[in-house]
């Protein structure tokens, strides 16, 4: 039986035929395979994996060859957990904001409007029309306003995506997450607005990629993978021909697939060659992709995705920016399902910036008794609260529909 002790992490240079890859250890957008798990049955397959620029992979030692001194997944997970705890202890500035209840209604309407605008914009691009910045800018201003008032109203809505509408819903999510991230870094509001525009428009080049490639539920051919990656260059071309677009927004769109170690695309930029805004875009783009369901990819829990970003920051991302991003969304991001010490499960509703391990949680299920409970808001930061979070959970594992429990208007 496969366990975290039988899964091991190895350098990709150690890969050889006879090994079973348990996890390619990268975002689904960084490889053309339909699955992250498969047998390495030839030297050709080894070369295919090594050519992707992935530095490390996980192997299943019960299904294939072993590497004796490689660290186990359990050991890697323990190191990541220690890193998370260290981030939670770092000082954070409490940001003034309105109540969650006060902002929820505005956030829901704004999220629906944003999805409608971006969907229409992508359809216009397919028809050869130009982006209308007089529609984009007021929308972005409203999103910035909402997140400044209370980010926990709009950000959880980013979890609610549909397979067929992923491209434009992902763009709205990246925009919102970037605003929160930029605000936590103390950037000026005018700069935050331009970063947000870049986030909203970062994938407009996908309008030039056929849907059968974007949504293909099978391994992409080499030509299809090249076409998929071409969306970045297409985005740059479209935005360079858009009056009123800023260099900041262009950096977000044009560099969100660049990687800190130079393994990204389209220009293989490295380290400080990538602008701050491009480095931020790369982190947020991968985080949202990791936590989203696709036809060929099951989204992971937000806390697990943050752990992956920390792990990959050795190579792909600016390490300090990743830590800052974790602080901006919280160790258990709003909308996460968590297990409490009492045995209850609950949805994280709102963060305390100065107490990231103690958010407000809507408790509604008992894991031990296997039954729903009357919903109850528990503020884990309240001095008299005796409960605490033990870890994150997957909605699917408990057959809980997140749409029923994520923050909504009453």
Which of the four pLDDT bands, split at 50, 70 and 90, describes residue 168? confident
Closest residue by Cα to residue 54 from 86, 21, 83, 84: 21
Question: Residue 188 to residues 144, 184, 255, 375: CA-CA distances in angstroms?
Answer: 12, 11, 21, 39
Closest residue by Cα to residue 333 from 389, 373, 376, 409: 389
**Please, what sign has the CA dihedral across residues 226, 232, 235, 240?**
negative
% of the chain beyond a pLDDT of 90 = 77
pLDDT, tens digit, 9 for 90 and up, residues 394-407 = 999 999 998 888 76
**Helix H or strand E segment including 2:** none
Closest residue by Cα to residue 398 from 305, 331, 301, 308: 301
**Helix H or strand E segment including 35:** none
State the Cα–Cα distance between residues 63 and 84, nearest whole angstrom: 31
- Other Cβ atoms less than 10 A from the Cβ of 392: the count is 20
Q: Residue 239 pLDDT > 80, yes or no? A: yes
pLDDT, tens digit, 9 for 90 and up, residues 138-157 = 999 999 999 999 999 999 98
**Please, what sign has the CA dihedral across residues 38, 43, 44, 46?**
positive
What average pLDDT does range 111-129 have in this prediction? 92
pLDDT, tens digit, 9 for 90 and up, residues 12-52 = 999 999 999 999 998 767 777 778 899 999 999 999 999 88
For position 371, what pLDDT does the model report? 95
For position 296, what pLDDT does the model report? 65
pLDDT, tens digit, 9 for 90 and up, residues 207-216 = 999 988 888 8
**Please, what sign has the CA dihedral across residues 224, 226, 229, 233?**
negative
Greater model confidence, 281 or 168: 281
State the Cα–Cα distance between residues 265 and 259, nearest whole angstrom: 8
- Tell me the pLDDT of the chain averaged across its residues: 91
Question: Residue 47 to residues 52, 219, 220: CA-CA distances in angstroms?
Answer: 9, 16, 16
State the Cα–Cα distance between residues 27 and 332, nearest whole angstrom: 20
- Least confidently predicted of 8-17, 174-183, 352-361: 352-361
For position 410, what pLDDT does the model report? 41
Tokens 């998370």 sit at which residue? 84
State the Cα–Cα distance between residues 323 and 336, nearest whole angstrom: 19
pTM exceeds 0.95, yes or no: no
Closest residue by Cα to residue 148 from 192, 110, 85, 209: 192
What average pLDDT does range 339-365 have in this prediction? 94
Eight-class DSSP state of 81 = H
Q: What is the DSSP string of 197-239?
A: HHHHHTTGGGGGS-HHHHT-SSPPPHHHHHHHHTHHHHHHHHH
- Measured at the alpha carbon of residue 253, what is the angle toward residues 248 and 259, in degrees to the nearest 5? 100
| Topology of the domain covering 100-329 | Hypothetical protein af1432 (1.10.3210)
Closest residue by Cα to residue 43 from 17, 67, 21, 18: 17
State the Cα–Cα distance between residues 125 and 68, nearest whole angstrom: 53
State the Cα–Cα distance between residues 122 and 32, nearest whole angstrom: 24
Check if the beta carbon of residue 154 is closer than 8 Å to that of residue 110. Answer: yes
pLDDT, tens digit, 9 for 90 and up, residues 55-82 = 999 999 999 999 999 999 999 999 999 9
- What is the edge-to-edge ordering of all strands in the sheet holding 344-350? 371-379, 360-366, 344-350, 337-340, 389-393
Domain ranges (residues) in the chain: 7-71, 100-329, 337-404
Q: What is the DSSP string of 246-312?
A: -HHHHHHHHHTT--TTS--SSS---GGGS-HHHHHHHHHHHHHHHTS-BTTBPPPPHHHHHHHHHHH
Closest residue by Cα to residue 165 from 130, 203, 195, 197: 203
Radius of gyration from C-alpha coordinates of the chain: 21
Which of the four pLDDT bands, split at 50, 70 and 90, describes residue 304? very high
For position 402, what pLDDT does the model report? 87
CA atoms within 13 A of residue 270's CA, in its CB half-sphere: 4
Question: Residue 181 to residues 29, 178, 201, 230, 262: CA-CA distances in angstroms?
Answer: 22, 5, 17, 27, 23
């Amino acid at each position: 039986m496969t366990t975290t002790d039988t899964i091991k992490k190895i350098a990709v240079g150690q890969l050889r035929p006879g090994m079973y890859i348990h996890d390619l250890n990268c975002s689904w957008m960084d490889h053309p395979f339909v699955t992250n798990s498969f047998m390495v049955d030839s030297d050709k397959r080894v070369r295919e994996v090594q050519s992707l620029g992935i530095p490390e992979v996980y192997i299943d030692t019960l299904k294939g060859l072993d590497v004796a001194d490689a660290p186990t997944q359990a050991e890697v997970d323990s190191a990541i957990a220690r890193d998370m705890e260290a981030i939670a202890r770092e000082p954070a500035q409490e940001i003034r904001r309105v109540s969650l209840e006060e902002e929820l209604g505005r956030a829901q309407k704004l999220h629906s409007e944003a999805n409608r605008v971006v969907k229409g914009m992508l359809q216009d691009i397919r028809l050869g029309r130009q982006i209308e910045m007089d529609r984009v800018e007021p929308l972005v201003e409203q999103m910035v306003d909402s997140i400044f008032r209370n980010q926990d109203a709009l950000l959880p809505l980013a979890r609610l995506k549909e397979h067929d509408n992923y491209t434009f819903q992902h763009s709205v999510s990246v925009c919102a997450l970037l605003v929160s991230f930029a605000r936590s870094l103390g950037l000026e509001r005018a700069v935050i607005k331009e970063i947000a525009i870049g986030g909203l428009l970062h994938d407009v080049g996908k309008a030039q990629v056929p849907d059968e490639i974007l949504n293909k539920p099978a391994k992409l051919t080499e030509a299809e993978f090249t076409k998929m990656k071409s969306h970045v260059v297409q985005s740059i071309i479209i935005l360079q021909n858009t009056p009123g677009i800023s260099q900041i927004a262009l950096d977000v769109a044009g560099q969100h697939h660049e990687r800190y170690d130079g393994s990204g695309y389209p220009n293989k930029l490295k380290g400080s060659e990538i602008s701050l805004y491009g480095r931020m875009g790369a982190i947020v783009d991968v985080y949202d992709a990791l936590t989203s369901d696709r036809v060929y990819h099951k989204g992971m829990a937000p806390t697990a995705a943050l752990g992956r970003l920390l792990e990959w920051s050795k190579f792909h991302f600016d390490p300090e920016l990743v830590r800052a991003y974790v602080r901006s969304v919280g160790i258990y991001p709003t909308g996460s399902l968590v297990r409490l010490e009492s045995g209850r499960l609950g949805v994280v509703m709102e963060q305390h910036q100065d107490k990231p391990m103690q958010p407000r949680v809507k408790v509604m299920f008992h894991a031990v008794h296997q039954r729903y409970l009357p919903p109850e808001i528990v503020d884990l930061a309240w001095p008299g609260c005796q409960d605490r979070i033990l870890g994150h959970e997957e909605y699917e594992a408990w057959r809980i529909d997140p749409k029923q429990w994520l923050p909504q208007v009453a």
